[in-house]
Structure formats: structure tokens, C-alpha cells
Chain A
Amino acid sequence: MAGSAGLYLAIARGSFRRYSTYRAATVAGAFTNTVFGFILAAGFLALWRTRPHLGGYDTGQAVTYIWVSQALLVAVAAWGGGFQDDLQERFRNGDIAIDLQRPVDFLGWWLAGDLGRAGFQLLTRGAVPLTVGVLACHARLPHSLLTWPVFLLSVLLSLLVSFGLRFLISISSFWLLDSEGLRALMVVVSMFMSGMLLPLTLFPQGLRQLAQALPWAALIQAPCDVFLERGSRVPGELGAQLLWAVVLFAAGRAAQALAVRKVVVQGG
């Protein structure tokens, strides 16, 4: 057991290091997230100027929401991507057959790698826009120190949910051969229903309830609310994150078991 934990840690560390070699690209990406932070925060500010306390956020919280969501965007892969790109390539060239024969659990292997990637991106493409937001745009830092560990826990859960969703899409390639189309549709749902573009409380009644009940709310809305110390909402959102993480992992496991029996290797 301890041996396999060490193995997964090594995979995660390798993935972290792999992403950290693209230094210039990381700088460029962090710059882009920051530019978007400025533009979207200005738009939010214009809205909250006409309607202070809209959706239960004061103006400072609303602006902070943008900066936190920009900081999370790449790490939680709201656009999709991360291990999905590698996995898809392996489906295309047939290497997937090798992966299934490795003496390492298939899901665990990709999860460890994806967590390593997310860790690196959180430290770079997350920290840079958030710092700029705090320094230049009066983004609001948590008032209580205790909020930080809870926030990190919530981010970890959102990474797990995000992985679970992307794993299911990727593994559908065993049946669809090419999951590109499904992935494109998933980006739409993910961007909208995660609260990436607009806090879910601003959605009209029915749509809001639907979005809050779906797993995507765990990606952005939940960690943002934790960061903004929206006290009464936090326990429920953390619970939902945990629940979805468990459900999606169970589904991923089941799909993996089915897929192994059905392998169709392309090319080679």
C-alpha cells in the first residue's frame, strides 16, 4: 500500500515537473488569465454598480469572484484538457493497449498525473492573477485564516470532480473511437454550469436549481464561495463536491472495467 502511494506520488511529481519545463508558456498563460481578469472584472463592476448585493455578493465579492475563477480556470480544466489530450493521443495511435497492461491502475495513473499538473498550474496560473487582482483591483482576501485550508480542500475536491468528468468522456473513446465531439459539447456545459462565466445565483430560478444540482457546480462555484466566506452555503457545497467526487469515481471504475473487456485498438 505504502509502495503504491509512493508510485502515485512519483507520477504526480513527474507530471508537475513536466509542466514546469514550459516556463515561457506558463508566463504567457498567466498573463492571459490576468488580462481576462481585468476585462471581466470591469464588466462585473458595471453590473454591480447598478445593482449592489446582486445574487448575495457585495461589489468586492463580485470582483473577487472573477479573479478566483480566473485563478482556478486552468487548474480545474474547466475548458477540458490536461490528461485528456495525452489520453486521446494514445487512443489515436493505439498506445492505449500498452497502458491497460501496465502493472499500475489505469485510472490511478492518469489521476496522479493530472493532480501533478493541476498543482503546478495552481501555483503559477492561479497565484499570478489572484495576486494581481488583490494588488491592483482590491480583490478581497479571506478575513479568517481558517478559510485557507478549507479553500484548498474545496479546490482539491473540485480537481477530483473535474478529473472524474473528464475521465468518463475520455474513456468513452473505447466505444466512440473519437471523443472529440463529446468533449466539445462538454466544454459548453462545463463553462456555463460551473459558474465560470456568471455566479449560479444570478441564473433564473429553474436553471439555477438545475445547475446547483449538477456536478459542474463543484468546479468553480463551490471553491469561489468558500474563498468569499459565504458561510451558510459552504457546508452544503463541500458536501456536494464530496458526493460527486465519490459518484464519478465509482462510475469511472465501472466504465473502465467495461472498457477493458471491449478494447478496440486502432492503428498500430
Chain B
Amino acid sequence: MAETLTAAEALTVPADREPLIAKVRWSVTSWRLTAAMWTRAQMSYRTSFVLTSLGNLLITSLDFAVLVLMFRHTDRLGGWTLPEIGLLYGTSGFALGAADLLVGSVDSLGQRIRSGDLDVLLLRPAPALALVCAERFALRRLGRPVQSLLVLGWSMQALALAWTLPRLLLLAGMLVCGTVIFSALFVGGATLQFWWGEAKEFQNSFTYGGATLLHYPPSVFAKELVAGVTFGLPLAFVNWLPTLRLLHRPDPLGLPTAFQYASPLAAALCVLAAGFAWRAGLRAYRSTGS
């Protein structure tokens, strides 16, 4: 707990000596108010909102539809069954989707820097990161986490697995830590745009690309890649490693069991790194003057 709080502190630029709790609460409130404003704004085109939400739900379902179609031709992919892969799909989709809903707007940072909008946000009496994350908040992004949870629910009952309390805790931990890891990737990736204004697409390769990677079991990929997303970008902690524990499957890298429980630590480190990157980015920021 202490670790997460320090990390949260790193996210706000400490201009004064307010107590930490108050600062975090202020960030959350700023985020909530901005998000609520954008939600109201989008509701003025109600038909479009309903259609885009529906479209979002469907488009995120396509990935799973493809997996289902693949399993019409085989009963195992990389040695894993469809319900087992459903577990991977549900957890990675939820983590990405929830992170995208909460902080996904941060990826338009480069656009804000170019247009000078960021200056406006920095002048407001609220934490800039909270504002950048909530600007253009889009409730329609709820589609992905909802759809992922549906798949997760299906695979949980399709697996012949007793859902004991420790297993449920591991699963819940996966959803929370996964969301935190992807959120940190969104924020950390977006800070690249302080230096490289057009890095937005680059970031997609490890957020959306990462989630797609995690839909498949690690056995499908080369060992070097699996090692890369364990020790480099810690995507393996989103769902691969804890799922190996849940399903009693051997780890292709042969890592100690402790790794399969280490997602909270990985998530905390990610937040810390993203926080430092954000502060460094803000410090390097020079307004375009427009």
C-alpha cells in the first residue's frame, strides 16, 4: 500500500506541501468532474452515442470471434483449450479496456502540445495528468471491459476448476494489477510525445499490440519474446504468469513460482516509472507559444 501511495505522489507535481491523501483525492475529483462533463457533452448526440457504444462492443468481440472460429478447426492452440485461452482473453481485454477508459485519452498529448491546449490545462488549478487523462473521456470505451468480463465469466464456468478463495483472489489481483500496468503503459508511452510529438501510433504497438499478444498462450511465441515481455515491458505480469499458476501449467521460461505472484510488485514499479517519466516530460516541456 505504501508503495502505491508514493507512486501516486510521483504523478502529481508537488507544488506545495499539502498532505498526500488530499493531493490524491484532488486528482481523483478533477478526473471525475472532467469525465462527467465530457459524458454530458457526448450525450447531446444520443443516437451516435448508442451506435458507437454498440460498435465498440462488437469490434472488441471480433478478436474473440476469430479465436472461436479458429477453434472450429482445432481443439488446441499452442496446447491450450478455448476456455483456457478465454481466461487469457478476458483478463488481458479487461485490463486494457479499463486502462483505456480511465486514462486512454492521455495518448492525445502530442496533439495537445501542437495545438497549445496543454498550456490551458497546465494553467488550471488541478493536476495536469488527471485532466489530460479525463479530457475527451469516452464512456463508449466501456464496451471492451464489459465484453472481456463476459468472456471471462464464460471461461470460468467452462473450465473444470474449483473457484476457491485463493484462486479468486489471484484472478481479482490479475484484473486490478493488469489495469494498473496498462494504465502505466498508456501514461508512460504518452510521455514520449513530449519529445517525439508523433509517437502516438508507436504506443499502440505495446498497448493494443500487447493485449493482442496476451490473448494467446505464451507457448505460441518464441522464448526470447516471452522473456522480453517479462523482464522488459512487464506485460507477462498482466495475465500470463498468474494464469500459469491458476491452470497449473509449466512456465516456458522455468522462472521461480514467486514470479507468478509478483504482479502487484510489477504494477507498482510500472506506476513509479510512469510517474517519473511524466515529471521528466513536464519539466522538458516547452510551450509552442500558440
Contacts and interface: CB of A to CB of B under 8 A. Distances in A.
Interface in A37-67: 38-40, 42-43, 45-47, 50-51, 54-55
A65 to B, nearest CB: 13
Contacts of B58: 185, 188
Contacts of B215: 43
Contact of B196 (A24, A54, A188, A192): A24
A191 B62 contact: yes
B20 interface: no
A203 B77 contact: no
Contact of B201 (A29, A178, A203): A29
A125 B283 CA distance: 33
B50 A181 contact: yes
Contacts of B290: none
Given A28-B199, A181-B51, A188-B59, A43 B76 contact: no
Contacts of B213: 39
A214 interface: no
Given A43-B216, A43-B220, A47-B74, A181 B55 contact: yes
A7 interface: no
A99 interface: no
B258 interface: no
Nearest to A187: B59
A89 interface: no
B66 A185 contact: no
B198 interface: yes
B150 interface: no
Contacts of A54: 73
Nearest to B47: A181
B65 interface: yes
B204 interface: yes
A185 B55 contact: yes
B221 interface: yes
Interface string A168-207: 0000000000101110110110011000011000111000
B200 A180 contact: no
B125 interface: no
Give chain B's interface secondary structure class: helix
Nearest to A207: B69
A181 B52 contact: yes
Interface size class of B (residues with CB under 8 A): 35 or more
Interface size class of A (residues with CB under 8 A): 35 or more
A24 B72 CA distance: 41
A206 B94 CA distance: 32
B54 interface: yes
Interface string A137-154: 000000000000000000
A216 B80 CA distance: 32
A73 to B, nearest CB: 12
A25 B212 CA distance: 22
A25 B45 CA distance: 31
A142 B225 CA distance: 29
Interface string A14-28: 000000001011001
B212 A182 contact: no
Interface in B156-183: none
A181 B140 CA distance: 11
A47 B217 CA distance: 12
B45 A180 contact: yes
Contacts of B48: 178, 180-181
Contact of A47 (B51, B52, B73, B222): B73
Contacts of A184: 51-52, 54-56, 59
Contacts of A42: 216, 220-222
Given A180-B52, A192-B65, A36 B212 contact: yes
B281 interface: no
A209 interface: no
Nearest to A179: B48
Contacts of B70: 43, 47, 198, 202
Nearest to A192: B62
Interface of A: 22, 24-25, 28-29, 31-32, 35-36, 38-40, 42-43, 45-47, 50-51, 54-55, 178, 180-182, 184-185, 187-188, 191-192, 197-198, 202-204
Given A31-B205, A39-B209, 15 more contacts: A24-B199, A42-B220, A43-B70, A46-B77, A46-B216, A47-B74, A180-B52, A181-B50, A182-B51, A184-B59, A185-B51, A188-B55, A202-B72, A204-B69, A204-B72
22 contacts: A24-B197, A25-B200, A32-B202, A32-B204, A35-B205, A35-B206, A36-B209, A42-B216, A42-B221, A43-B77, A43-B216, A43-B220, A46-B220, A181-B50, A182-B51, A184-B55, A185-B54, A187-B59, A188-B59, A197-B62, A197-B63, A198-B66
| Closest 9 pairs (CB-CB, A-B) | A181-B51, A184-B55, A25-B198, A28-B202, A28-B201, A32-B205, A181-B48, A24-B198, A35-B205
